Structure 1
Amino acid sequence: MAQLHPDRPQTELDSRQLVTRLLLAFGLGAYASALGTRLLDPMMTLIGTDFLAEPRQTALLASAFALPYALIQPVLGPIGDALGKRRVVGWSLLGLAVSALLCALAPSFWWLFAARILAGLTAGGTMPLTLAVFGDSVPLVRRQVAISRLLMFAIAGQVSGGALAGVLAPLLGWRGVLALSALTALAGWFAARGGPAEPRLPLNFGQSFRRTGTILANPAARLLFGAVFIEGCLIFGLFPYLGPLLVERGLGGATQAGLSIASFGLGGFLYTLLAGIILRAIGQSGLIRLGAICVAAGLLSVGLASTLPMVPAGTILMGFGFFAVHGSIQTRVTEVAPHARGSAVSMHAFWFFLGQSIGPLAFGLLAAPAGVLPAVVLCGAGILGLGFYLARR
C-alpha cells in the first residue's frame, strides 16, 4: 500500500534528524512570534502613564493583537495550503518585524492600537502554519513530543517577553523593548528562508471555504475548536490586569508583573521537559486532567495572593497546566484533516485567539463588580470542567 506521506522519516534516527532540522528552521520564528504576543502585558501601566489611558483602555491592546490574529486565520490557512506553508511563515515574520517597529514609533495610543492590529494580522501566519508543517512532516507517533520541542521556543519567547518587558522597560522604555522584538522577528525571517521547495497550487477561496465547511462538519474538529476558544478566554483574561493588580495590592509594578508572566513560561518549560515521561505514565487523558487541575490551582493562588511569591508560583502552575492541555489539543487538531492540515490548524488558531481577544474584556466585566477572586474562581472552575470533559473524549 502506498504511504500517505512517503517523504516522512521511516526510522527513529530519521525522525530525530528531521525534527532537529525543522527546529533550526522554525524555532526562532516561533520564539519571535511568542515574544510579541504577551510583550505589552507587563508594560500596561507604563503605556497608560505615557498616553494618560485607564487600565481598561490599555487592556484593549491585548485584544487588538489577539482578535486580528484570530480573524486572519480563515484566510492564511488556505493561502498556506496553496502557496506553501513555509513561504507564508517567512512573509509573516517579515511583516511582524515591520509592525513591531511601527508600535515602537507610535505617537499616540490609537496609533499603537492600530499597529498592534497589524502585528496580530502578521503574527497569525507564523505559529499555526509552523504547526501544520510539523504535522505534514513528523509521524503521529512522535508528533506530540516534536511539537513540545517547538513549544520550547515559543515558551522561551513568552518568558523573554515578560522578563524583557519587566526588566528592560525601566531602562529602555516600552518603545525600546518593542524595537528589540522587531529585530528578533527579522532574525526569525532570515532563519526560515530556504528549505525544500514547496509546490504552488491554485488559490481558490471558494474551494478553500468549502474545505473549511467540511472540517467544521467533523464533530471532533468542532469539539477541539470549542475547547481552545474556552481555554483562551478563561486562562489569558487575567494577564493584562496583573500589573494593576500588583500595584493595587502593594506587591510591585511592571517588573514584578513581567517576571510573573515569565513564570507562566517557566511552567511551560517544565511541561516540555516532562511531557514524554508523563504521557508514558498516565497517557494523554491523564495529562489533560493534571493540566486542568494545575491551571485552576494557579489561578486561585494569584487570586488569593497576599505576598508576591504567591503570584509567580500561581503562574508557574498555570503555565504547566495550560501547555499540558493545549499541547494535547494541538496534537489532535493536526489529524482532523490530514489533506488540509494548514486550514485545520489555522481554524484552531482562529478559535484560540478569538478566546484570547474576548478573555480580557470578559475578565474585566467579571472583576469590576465582584473583584479579582470571584473572577479567577469562575475561570478555574471552567477550566476544570473543560479538562475533565476532554479527557473522557
Structure 2
Amino acid sequence: MPLFAILAVCAFASSFALRIFDPLTLPLAAAFARPTPQVALLTTIYAFSYAASQPLIGPLGDRFGRLRCIRWCCVGLAACLLVSAVAPSFEVLLVARAASGVFGGGLVPVVLAALGDAYEGPRRQIAIGRMLVATIGGQLLGALVSGQVNAWLGWRAAVWAATTVTGAAVVLACAVPGRPHHAQPVSEGGVLQSLRAVLRDPRSPWLFGCVLVEGALFFGMFPYLGEWFAALDERTGLDALARRAGIAIAAFGCGGVLYALIVPVLVRRLGMTRMCTTATAIAFATFAALAFAPGWGWTLLPLAVLGLAFTMVHNSLQTRATELATAARGSAMALFASALFLGQALGPPVFAALKHALGWPGVFAAHALAVCALAVVVLRRVVAPPPSPRPAGRAPGGPRLRRPRRAPAARGRARPARRSAARAGAPAGPAAGW
C-alpha cells in the first residue's frame, strides 16, 4: 500500500474521532443524567488536550522518527476510544476523552511532517493539498456516522465505530517498514529558539489571536446543535436530534470539501485579500440566516456555505503562518494548531453563555457581528503584506538624502599620478595611475 494512502488513513482516523461526540450531546446527557453544558465539556477538553499536545509531539517526532510517532499516536488513540466505548461513568469518559485529544492531536501535524520528508518540490504541495480531503472528510463522516449509528444502536456503538476506524489505522501504520532514523537531540534551548523566531514577527500575536477567535466562532455551536433543533421542533426525539446534528455538521464539512476542489480558481480570481473580504460577507449573511431559520432543514445550506467561508479565511491564515519563520516552520504550524484548538475549547462555554443571555436568534446575530470585527483585524494586521523595506538614503518622513561623495583626498592622490605618468611618457590609465 502506498505510503501516502497509509498516512491519509491515519489522518482520517484522527479527524473521524474529533467530531464523534458533537452530535451525541443530548443522548449522553440523558444516559448520564447530566446537564447539556457539562456534557459539552467532552468537546472542550478534547480540543484543549489537542492544543496542549502540539508543541510536544513535534519535537518527539523529530527525536524518534515520524513513522514511529504516528504508530504510537494511533495505538494511544485506539486505546482511549476503547475506554470511552465501555466507560461506566461520565468521569471516566471525560478522562478518556482528554487522553484522546493528546494522541489525536499528534497525528495530523506529524503526518504533514512525514509528507514533507517523503515528497519534494511541487509534489509536496500537491500531497499536502490532497491530505486536506482526508482530514475534512474524516470530520464530515465522523459526525454523520456518529449521529446515524446512535439512532440505530446507541451512543456506545458510535464510539465503537470510531474505535474500528482507528484500529484499521493502527494495522496499516504498523505494516509500514521502519526506515532508519538517526536520533536528533532536541534541546530545550532549540525548541525555545524556534518559538522565539516565530514570535519575533510582529504579525504573530495578531495571527494566532485571530485563529483562536476563528475556532471559537465557527466551532463553538456544534455541541449545541441538537439542543437548537429541539427548540425548533419540540416533538423530535433524542435519537432523531442526534442524527440531525450529525447531518448538520457534515453539511459544514461539505463546504470545506468544496473549497478544496475550487481553491485554485479562488486564489487565481480573488487573491488572499479579496478572498477574506468575500468570506466575511458570506459568513455574516449565513449567521444572519441561521438566526431566523424556521426549522432544522433550513440550516443545512447555510451551514454548508458557512463551512466554505470558514475554510476561505482559515486557509489564508494558514498560508500567512507558513511565512512567519521559514527556518522554524514546524513550530509556527504547531502554534497555529494550538491556537485553533484552544479556540475550539473555549467556543462551547462562550456559546452557552451567550445563548443563555441572548437566546438563539441573539447568539447567531452576535456571531455575525463578531465575524465582521474579526475580518477587520485579519485584513489590517495579518493578510496585508508586510511593509516594504525603506529605500536606502531616505530618512523616515524626510527628503531623500544624497549619497556621500568620495573623499577629495582620494581623487587628489590619483591626479598627480596620472600627470607624472604622462610626463614620463607612460600610457595614462589604470595601470599607470590607479
TM-score by length of 1: 0.88
Deviations 1:59-110 (A, max 9, x none): 1111010011111222222222333334323321221111111111111111
- Give the CA deviation at 1:183: 1.7
Separation (CA, whole Å) in 2 of partners of 1:235 and 1:287:
17
Please say if 1:303 is aligned against 2:287: no
Q: How do residues 304-343 of structure 1 correspond to structure 2 at under 5 angstroms?
A: 304-343=292-331
Whether the aligned pair in 2 keeps the contact of 1:33 and 1:157 (CA below 8 Å) is: yes
Show the counterpart of 1:31.
12
CA distance in 2, matches of 1:337, 1:88: 25
Which deviates more, 157-166 or 301-310? 301-310
Higher RCO, 1 vs 2 (CA within 8 Å, ≥6 residues apart): 1
TM-score, L = length of structure 2: 0.80
Pick the aligned partner of 1:74 from 51, 55, 59: 55
The answer to which of 110-119 and 283-292 deviates more is 283-292
| Structure 1 contact 294–318 (Cα < 8 Å) conserved | yes
1:140 to partner: Cα distance: 7.6
Displacement after TM superposition at 1:205 (Å) = 2.8
8 A contact 1:129–1:342 mirrored in 2: no
Q: Which deviates further from its counterpart, 223-232 or 81-90?
A: 81-90
State yes or no: 1:218 paired with 2:201. Answer: yes
Aligned to 1:94: 75
What's the offset of the Cα at 1:197?
4.2
Find the counterpart in structure 2 of residue 383 from structure 1.
371
Query: For the residues of structure 1 that align with 2:178 and 2:282, how far apart are their CA atoms?
Result: 39
- Asked if the contact 2:229/2:295 (under 8 Å) is kept, the reply is no
Query: Alpha-carbon deviation of 1:136?
Result: 5.7
**What is the one-letter code of the residue matched to 1:37?**
L
Supply the distance in 2 between the matched residues of 1:323 and 1:132 (Cα, whole angstroms). Answer: 21
CA distance in 2, matches of 1:209, 1:371: 44
1:129-278 correspondence runs (5 A): 129-134=110-115, 146-192=127-173, 193-194=176-177, 197-250=180-233, 252=236, 253-278=241-266
Distance across 1 between alignment mates of 2:327 and 2:292: 47
State the alpha-carbon separation in 2 of the partners of residues 93 and 336 from structure 1: 30
Which residue of 330, 345, 351 corresponds with 1:357? 345
How far apart, CA to CA, are the structure 2 residues paired with 1:144 and 1:288? 22
Deviations 1:123-146, CA, capped at 9 Å, x for gaps: 110112333444566668776664
In structure 2, the gaps of 5 or more residues are 385-434
State the Cα RMSD in Å: 2.3
- Distance, in Å, in 1 between the alignment partners of 2:319 and 2:217 is 21
Query: Which residue, out of 38, 47, 50, partners 1:57?
Result: 38
Select 1:42's aligned residue among 9, 23, 37.
23
Aligned to 2:357: 369
Cα distance per residue 1:133-177 (max 9 Å; x no partner): 445666687766643421111111111112111111121211111
Deviations 1:171-230, CA, capped at 9 Å, x for gaps: 121111111111212222343434754442013234312322332222233332222111
Q: Do the aligned residues in 2 keep the contact of 1:68 with 1:117 (CA within 8 Å)?
A: yes
CA contact (8 A) 2:233 2:295 kept: no
Greater shift in the superposed pair: 221-230 or 345-354: 221-230
Rounded Cα–Cα distance in structure 1 between residues aligned with 2:317 and 2:6: 24
Q: Secondary structure at the match of 2:294?
A: coil
| Rg comparison, structure with higher value | 2
Q: Shift of the alpha carbon at 1:367?
A: 1.0
Distance in 2 (alpha carbons) for counterparts of 1:306 and 1:329? 34
Check conservation: 2:253, 2:304, Cα contact below 8 A.
Answer: yes
Tell me how far apart the structure 2 counterparts of residues 107 and 136 of structure 1 sit (CA, whole Å): 42
**Paired residues of 1:145 and 1:275 also in contact (CA < 8 A):** no
Letter in 2 for 1:376: F
Structure 2 counterpart of 1:334, one-letter code: T
1:197, 1:375 → 2: CA distance? 53
> 2:100 aligned with 1:119, yes or no?
yes
Following the alignment from structure 1 to structure 2, what is the Cα–Cα distance between the partners of residues 83 and 249?
A: 52
Secondary structure of 1:63's aligned partner = helix
SS at match of 2:295: coil
Identity %: 33
Q: Which amino acid aligns with 1:221?
A: S
Contact 1:85 1:342 in 2 (8 A): no
Q: Which amino acid aligns with 1:204?
A: S
* Residue aligned with 1:126, SS: helix
Q: 2-side partners of 1:157 and 1:355: how far apart?
A: 20
Q: How far apart are 1:46 and its partner, in Å?
A: 0.6
Decide whether the 8 Å contact of 1:80 with 1:88 is kept in 2.
yes
CA–CA distance in 2 between the matches of 1:365 and 1:63?
A: 14
Give the letter for the 2:226 counterpart.
G
SS of corresponding position for 1:107: coil
CA distance in 1, matches of 2:256, 2:17: 17
Report the CA distance shift for 1:194/1:296 in structure 2 as closer, same or farther (over 3 A): farther
